[in-house]
Chain A
Amino acid sequence: MNQSEAFHQRIDDALHNDQLRSNFRSAMSGVMQRRADQFPDEDQLQALREQARAVRANSLVKQPELLEKLEAKLTENGIQVHWAETPQQANTIIAEILEAAGARTLVKGKSMVSEETELNHFLEQRGVEVIESDLGEYIIQLAKEPPSHIVMPAVHKNRREVAELFNEFHPDIPYTEDIDELTQTARQILRTRFANADAGVSGVNFAVAETGTLCLVENEGNGRLSTTAPRLHIAITGVEKVVEKLSDVPPLLEILTKSATGQPITTYFNMISRPRQPDELDGPEAVHLVLLDNGRSRIRVDEELLDTLQCIRCGSCINHCPVYVQLGGHAYGTVYPGPIGLALEPQRIGLDKAGALTSACTMCGACGEVCPVKIPLPKLINRLRAEAVGQARHAAPLPGRGTLRKSGEANVWKLWRYLNGRPRLYRLFTFTATRLRWLTPPWLGAWTRYRSAPRPAAQALREMAKREGFSNE
């Protein structure tokens, strides 16, 4: 099965899962409303978006210098910095750190970059026990599923499904579908894990070059526990997460939490600048940061596509996407679903592997309107569509460029262009097409799977206009 067929198969499966669609519809409606409630003043929202965009754009321009500064500051603070070009390298670095420390159990805070590298799988194969500690991540870890949303990883599950999972893995705890009780169950199960884990792994929301500070945004406290209770903390993040100054953080934090979940601020904002100091009584004795490239530096080649890297992973584009709400995250088959997935994944892993994703867009523009850092997502998706069929031109072609090109389709458009450039021929064509409209085939591929075939009108628009008295000009 090629990537388009596989994608369409997953779409088909998702569309026939009524429970899944209902779970997504109710979740997305709620989160869109909560976001809107946080931005009552349109002018203030636009000013904040512009500030956040400017901060991210500035940090991307200065990225190499800022990464070097970040490394120098972190090193000065006692945090060890590692660089990885590929997921394999990142995983190996982490496995080696754990091995050197004799760490066999790991609690993890939420990290999408670790999903990119499939870190859990890698470590489990080497005998490390990995426990996801974010409630949503814990649920899907039990279900052996990937996240279906970058902020709300278990949004596709309802309370009954969660209750059944907990019952399957913890049969000694009484069965309940009450959300408060399920939450308390998870608290009890995971507290023992936090107390006993050898190491903690987390992501990073912003890495501040000026002060050498790793910032983490969360509500549950699992991120703080994972980065404080064990002796060892390893953070992993993409190279684009660096920002220049500490003063860059407040606008990003404000627009991130408001856009992501409609909260004025999350419960915890955790800023880590050092490992435990000699007189301190808790916190990890060693802190490591793994900086992962994984295709990001290649995206930078193109000024237009560079905007993709401004993303602060709020998930707002996903929440507002009319396609995502129907399909859910798993149908995309990539780490990042929704509009940001459409823009990022074909660039990150290649158009030959993820180019088909770009068809999952109606060009409605909602994602671009809500993006807190003003990434022109519809424009990028359109550009990638063109790249996928080999039409766009730029210096460094994306991997897999042109792999979705179909000669039949290309010839139809060539013919269309040819006709439109020749008025007489075009008139002959429209005259013939309207008179022979009964010859329109009833079956037109995917279009007629759920719709009737369109038929040309009895007369061309030009003829009707002429009859009504409009002049040719």
Chain B
Amino acid sequence: MSEARDRILSRLRANRPQDVPTPDVYAKPLHWDRDRLIGSFIECMQAVRGEVHRVGRENWVDWLNTELPKRGLKRGLLGLGPVGDAFAAGAADDFSLQRYDRPIEDWKEELFRQIDFSVTGTLAGLAESGSLVLWPDAQEPRLMSLVPPVHVALLDSDRLFENFAALIAAENWAGGMPTNALLISGPSKTADIEQTLAYGIHGPKTLITLLLD
């Protein structure tokens, strides 16, 4: 490898500070019951203008069929997994639906300009911070939760964890990370002008979580 590498590493080795104890694994157990987990998730998400709707596991397609047209959302982006399949099968005829079935380079302009909303699943939710956890993959690629102005995310209410530390410990994330893992806590926002919050800068302007019971 490069000389720069060797020189940097040898300087670092030459000046080794005194050992310090390895820190304990950070845990912040809150001992919250199911209601508290759900309540906190909803409260935190709403505090950053994220929408949360509690919907029956069997009813989310109906919910989207009813609610999205009211907002003028027609052009939807679906993945190739079970969520995309379910919506494609049950969606009302008014929608114009696109499956994310090609490499991004083949249709980037279209994705950026001609999609109103996307629907994806989630891996889990974090109650303490009101976060969605996504592991985008070949079936639901990374840009699905980022480029469309409205992102609808389905979250199983049994998949709520207290916080990030609890999740990565319980599911042994250190044993194998995906290409990309995400925590999403609300719609895109900025406060870069006069410290004033403005929503919908580069990512979704609206984030709708359907909390499935």
Residues of A within 8 A of B (CB): 23, 26-27, 30-31, 51, 54-55, 57-58, 60-61, 63-64, 67-68, 82-85, 89, 133-136, 139, 152-155, 157-159, 162, 179-180, 182-184, 186-187, 190-192, 194-195, 210-213, 219-222, 224-225, 228-229, 231, 239, 244-251, 253-254, 261, 264-277, 279-283, 291, 293, 297-298, 300-301, 303, 306
Contact with A along B129-147 (1 / 0, CB 8 A): 1110000011001110011
A220 touching B201 by the CB < 8 A rule? Answer: yes
CA A241 to CA B25, docked complex, whole Å: 19
- Cβ contacts under 8 Å, A187 to chain B: 200-202
**Which of B3-11, B57-65, B67-75 faces chain A?**
B3-11
B188 touching A182 by the CB < 8 A rule? Answer: no
A282 touching B13 by the CB < 8 A rule? Answer: no
CA A310 to CA B154, docked complex, whole Å: 39
13 contacting pairs across A/B (C-beta < 8 A)? A64-B16, A136-B190, A139-B192, A139-B193, A152-B195, A153-B192, A187-B201, A220-B188, A220-B203, A271-B180, A271-B181, A274-B179, A281-B141
CB distance from B68 to the nearest CB of A (A): 21
CA A180 to CA B192, docked complex, whole Å: 11
A267 touching B23 by the CB < 8 A rule? Answer: no
A135 touching B192 by the CB < 8 A rule? Answer: yes
B4 touching A84 by the CB < 8 A rule? Answer: yes
- Cβ contacts under 8 Å, B11 to chain A: 293, 297-298, 300
B195 touching A186 by the CB < 8 A rule? Answer: no
CB-contact partner of B141 in A61, A231, A268, A280, under 8 A: A280
**Which of B81-89, B115-123, B167-175 faces chain A?**
B167-175
Given contacts A83-B1, A253-B164, A293-B8, contact A283 B180 (CB under 8 A): yes
- Cβ contacts under 8 Å, B181 to chain A: 213, 271, 273
CB distance from B82 to the nearest CB of A (A): 17
B169 touching A247 by the CB < 8 A rule? Answer: yes
Given contacts A55-B23, A61-B20, A153-B192, contact A283 B198 (CB under 8 A): no
Q: Is the interface of B mostly helix, strand, loop or mixed?
A: loop
A225 touching B146 by the CB < 8 A rule? Answer: yes
Flag whether B29 is at the interface (Cβ < 8 A). Answer: no
Interface centre among A23, A89, A272 (most CB of B within 10 A): A272
CA A283 to CA B192, docked complex, whole Å: 27
B168 touching A246 by the CB < 8 A rule? Answer: yes
- Cβ contacts under 8 Å, A239 to chain B: 8, 12
B194 touching A219 by the CB < 8 A rule? Answer: no
A264 touching B179 by the CB < 8 A rule? Answer: no
Given contacts A271-B181, A300-B15, contact A51 B26 (CB under 8 A): yes
- Cβ contacts under 8 Å, A248 to chain B: 23, 26
Give the 3 A-B CB pairs with smallest separation, nearest first: A221-B203, A136-B192, A54-B23
CB distance from B31 to the nearest CB of A (A): 15
B4 touching A179 by the CB < 8 A rule? Answer: no
- Cβ contacts under 8 Å, A23 to chain B: 194
CA A180 to CA B194, docked complex, whole Å: 12
Given contacts A89-B4, A220-B188, contact A265 B20 (CB under 8 A): no
CB-contact partner of B112 in A179, A195, A224, under 8 A: A195
